[in-house]
Amino acid sequence: MTRLALEGIACFRGGRLLFEDLNLGLEPGEGMLVTGANGVGKSSLLRIAAGLLAPAAGRVARDGAVALAAEAAALDEDQTLFAALAFWTWLDGGSDEVVAMALAAMGLAQLAPVPVRLLSTGQRRRATLARVIASGAGIWLLDEPASGLDAESMNELAAAMAGHLAAGGVILAASHQPLGLEMREFAL
Amino acid sequence: MSPFVRLVRRDLKRAFAQGGAWLPLVFYLLVATLFPFAIGPDAALLAKVGSGALWTAALLAALLPVERLVRPDIVSGVMDQLAVRGQSDEAVAAAKLMAHWLSFGPPLMTATLPAAALLNLDGATSARLEIGLMLGTPGLAALGLAVAALTASLRRAGALIGLVMLPLAVPLLIFGASQGEGALKLLGATSLLFVAAAPFVAGAALRAGRS
């Protein structure tokens, strides 16, 4: 069973207290949208949830593998999109079919042989989301997943998220725009 | 294939695809070419200083790839993604060390053959130099990786890398260029120490850099 729970989390960044005593819990099939102005600590919250950042106080309980879509795409520029994505999918124990499936889910199938350095901002964003889809991880942490996406990609993203929740996954997303999916909101 | 092997393969591919791996090699050969011009065509003198000159050149060549070892992977988010997948920083650093040495050590040893000829080194000296480089380049690669991880958060670390790394590499230079007895054993010991410590130093630096 996939679960994510944050208990009594406090976050200090650059000598400033961003938030404290933050509690949230996600049960299987549950998604949550973290909202808030720029700089309130949405990304830091996701990094804490991912285990990349140690919270100043509190604890994080993760039940299941984590996939993070952060601002940086983490795809090798001189590789083709397929090869760059396949590197991560293989690390996660997936196969080439999984990569092809994830690319198709984000409408990137035709771009598979294109080098990553030639992709546009929106296409990179979609590739980042395709990596999350291909990871097979139960916990999705999405940092501004909708930034730079066109209407069609938004629909694909919403469909992928709905599918993940229906399969018992957990989603924690930070965004200041609606993601086209009914989720609990959490204002930071 | 294990994650370690995958990481080594990826780094190795990147090193040669971006051309970065050839740079130290060309630099090394260039220095070997410059030396006879500077010292003059005195074959006996060249043969005498040649081994030390090549070691100095190898040391300087080892500085060149340092900047692209770790920082690009932090900026592009690759390090974060590896950490999210539960890969320990030490294991990632060890894979990077392996890939770095493979793209640096053997090519340098190959380039030493023409370089030794340019400096009129005799067979015994060349052989000793090759053995020395085989023992010493892993240490140089380890130093390079540790310094790369320590300076990864700095935007323009080029000059600083030299200042941090060269003093630490002095033992390798001394034992490598020395013709004395036991020098190779000490060289191997120094190199081993660097190789053993580097993944932990780099791993701690990577972890500290994330917070």
Residue A146 lies in a domain: yes
Query: Is A175 within the bounds of a domain?
Result: yes
Q: How would residue B40 be classed by pLDDT, with cut points 50, 70 and 90?
A: confident
What is the pLDDT, as a whole number, of residue B20? 76
Q: What is the DSSP letter of A6?
A: E
> Which chain B positions have a beta carbon within 8 Å of A53's beta carbon?
210-211
> Among A54, A74, A90, whose Cβ lies nearest the Cβ of B77?
A74
Q: What's the token pair of residue A42? A: 């949405």
Tokens representing B161 are 């890398």
Could you tell me how far CA B55 lies from the centroid of its own chain? 12
The domain limits of chain B are 3-210
Chain A, nearest residue to B2 by Cα: A91
pLDDT score for B22: 86
Residues of chain A neighbouring B76 (CB-CB closer than 8 A): 72-77
Number of A to B CB contacts under 8 A, please give it. Answer: 49
Give how far Cα B145 sits from Cα of B51, B93, B138, Å. 25, 8, 10
A127 vs A82: CA distance, rounded Å: 10
Which 3-state string (H, E, C) describes A155-185? HHHHHHHHHHHHCCCEEEEECCCCCCCCCEE
Count CB atoms within 10 A of the CB of residue A134. Answer: 26
pLDDT for residue A38 = 87
Task: Work out how many domains chain A is built from and give that number.
Answer: 1
Q: Does B211 touch chain A (CB under 8 A)?
A: yes
- pLDDT, chain A, mean: 91
Q: In what order do the strands lie in the sheet with A16-26?
A: A16-26, A3-13, A57-63
Strand A184-187 vs strand A170-174: parallel, antiparallel, or unpaired?
Answer: unpaired
Q: How much is the ipTM here?
A: 0.93
- Whole-model pTM: value is 0.92
In a domain, A135, yes or no: yes
Q: Chain B residue with minimal CA distance to A11?
A: B211
CATH number assigned to the domain comprising residue A89: 3.40.50.300
For residue A111, tell me if it sits in a domain: yes
Residues of A with Cβ-Cβ distance to B14 under 8 angstroms: 76, 78
CB < 8 Å to B80, chain A: 50, 52, 68, 70, 72, 74
Query: For B14-39, how does the pLDDT look when each residue is reduced to its tens digit (9 = 90+)?
Result: 998 877 788 889 999 999 899 889 88
- SS3 per-residue string spanning B94-118: HHHHHHHHHHHHHHHHHHHHHHHHH
What is the spatial distance between Cα B88 and Cα B82, in angstroms, rounded to a whole number? 8
- B156 to chain A, any CB pair closer than 8 A? The answer is no
Please answer yes or no on whether B81 and A74 come within 8 Å at the CB atom: yes
Interface of A with B (CB under 8 A): 50-54, 65-68, 70-78, 87-88, 90-92
Residue A150 covered by a domain: yes
State yes or no: pLDDT of B211 exceeds 80. no
pLDDT single digits (tens) A36-79: 888 888 999 999 999 999 999 999 999 999 999 998 889 998 89
Q: In angstroms, what separates the C-alpha of B159 from chain A's closest C-alpha?
A: 26
Check CB contact under 8 Å for B210 and A90: no
User: What CA–CA distance (Å, rounded) separates B171 from A125?
Assistant: 48
Minimal Cβ distance to B81: which of A53, A78, A88 = A88
Kindly list the residues from chain B whose CB atom is less than 8 angstroms away from the CB atom of residue A71. Answer: 77
Residues 6+ apart with CB under 8 A from A181: A31, A158, A161, A162
Mean pLDDT of A76-93: 92
Residue A10, domain member (yes or no): no
In the 8-state DSSP scheme, what is residue A186? E
pLDDT per position as a tens digit, B117-162: 988 899 999 999 999 999 999 999 999 999 999 999 888 888 899 9
Q: Which of residues 11-30 of B touch A (CB under 8 A)?
A: 14, 17-18
- Beta-carbon count within 10 A of B196 CB: 10
Q: State the residue range of the domain holding A136.
A: 27-54+64-187
